Amino acid sequence: MSSAPVFIASCSPRKGGNCDFAASLVERTLPVRSSVIRVSDANVRPCNACGVCDSMPGRCTLDGPTVLPSSVSGQLPAKDGAKALFASMTLAPVTFIVAPIYYYHIPAQAKAWVDRTQRFWAMKGESPAKGRAMACILIAARPRGDMLFDGAERSLRWMAKTLGMEWLEPLEFYGLEHASALADSVEKQADICSYAARIFGGLPR
Ligand SMILES: Cc1cc2nc3c(=O)[nH]c(=O)nc-3n(C[C@H](O)[C@H](O)[C@H](O)COP(=O)(O)O)c2cc1C
């Protein structure tokens, strides 16, 4: 198993909410080092379909500092975060994605990250994260709904596939609405701890 830290990506823009709490539970459960990143704070720019990765597979123009007119350059972060997130995924033995459901999908900041995987898709069959795995915890407010997690799950599964990662069955929660809903549920916390332990225990040594 890779000795790099397990990577835990908390994908809600709400600070200190259910995803951040779940991410910290996973971190505390694992017997090895992990690094937790809040994807919404990572400044991932959305793909603008420039087409550069079609002609230069693996490259993305949004990785570099953007040349902006001086009128706006001071207001925007110069450094884009996608490359660092992918680097963590390719090194970690397993990546845990913890995401809330927003309109039957993941929040826009996290979807921007998924879309930036396009550079690897353009590499057609090369697998930068081969031998690594992706596990997901998805959190929604609705108490029921057959297809509530389908959109999020499908996008994340294809992100994993594009990177050559093994897709592990996600853990999904209904009925967590307010920011402290998970903190109030000892049962759901226990589910997260057992899931993290099970995923970690199943990794090849
Ligand atoms: C913009 C937005 C859209 C949402 N859409 C859905 C939805 O489609 N279905 C659902 O069950 N919950 C939806 N929710 C509720 C969140 O999934 C829920 O509150 C979750 O616990 C948020 O996680 P967090 O505390 O980590 O931010 C939405 C919340 C927001 C802010």
Domain ranges of the chain: 6-62+78-201
pLDDT band at 91 (very low <50, low <70, confident <90, very high): very high
3-class DSSP assignment, residue 200? helix
Query: Ligand 1: distance of its center to the CA of 186 in Å?
Result: 20
Q: Are 85 and 37 in contact (CB under 8 A)?
A: yes
Query: Ligand 1: distance of its center to the CA of 80 in Å?
Result: 26
Q: Write the single-letter amino acid at 89.
A: M
Which of 75-79, 94-98, 173-177 is least confident?
75-79
Cβ of 11 closer than 6 Å to ligand 1, yes or no, is no
Query: Ligand 1: distance of its center to the CA of 178 in Å?
Result: 9
pLDDT band at 73 (very low <50, low <70, confident <90, very high): low
Q: Write the single-letter amino acid at 111.
A: K
Taking phi over 0 as left and psi of -120 to 50 as alpha, with beta for the rest, 131 belongs to left
* Domain 6-62+78-201 belongs in CATH node 3.40.50.11600: no
CA 7 to chain centre: 9
Atom from ligand 1 closest to the CA of residue 103: 8
Q: Please determine, for residue 20, whether its predicted confidence score (pLDDT) is greater than 70.
A: yes
What pTM, to 2 d.p., does this model score? 0.94
Q: Are 79 and 42 in contact (CB under 8 A)?
A: no
Q: Which residues does residue 172 pair with via DSSP β-bridges, in sequence order?
A: 138
Give, for ligand 1, the residue of 14, 96, 103 to mutate: max count of ligand atoms closer than 8 Å to Cβ: 103
> Nearest 5°: phi and psi at 96?
-100, 120
